[in-house]
Amino acid sequence: MLIVKARGTMVTFTPKKVAKIAGVSTRPAHLSVVRYILENLREKGLVELWKKTFHGYRYAITSESPLWQEVKKRYGKE
């Protein structure tokens, strides 16, 4: 959803935004699970940690990411 509607070459998001799109509760316990999954994707090089502040974590996916390319290929964009 984020990548398909992207107008540029990078999308940024928080674990809370991912949870809302996925229809998961945004309670702290659930957000920690979403962040755990995002950290696993980061270790595999599919997403990047864009910013870490006292507000929380913000992740990014760029057009060079294999995840970006797979989504664009699957949904026929680009």
**pLDDT of 8-44, one tens digit each?**
999 999 999 999 999 999 999 999 999 999 999 999 9
Q: Domain residue spans in the chain? A: 10-74
Tokens matching residue 26: 């945004």
pLDDT value of position 75: 85
pLDDT value of position 77: 52
Tell me the per-residue pLDDT of 42-65, one tens digit each, with 9 for 90 and over: 999 999 999 998 889 999 999 999
Q: What is the fold, at CATH topology level, of the domain defined by 10-74? A: Arc Repressor Mutant, subunit A (1.10.10)
Global pTM value:
0.86
> In sequence order, which residues have a C-beta less than 8 Å from that of residue 74 and are 6 or more positions away?
none
pLDDT value of position 2: 86
In the chain, at which residue ranges do the beta strands (DSSP E only) sit?
A: 10-13, 48-53, 56-62
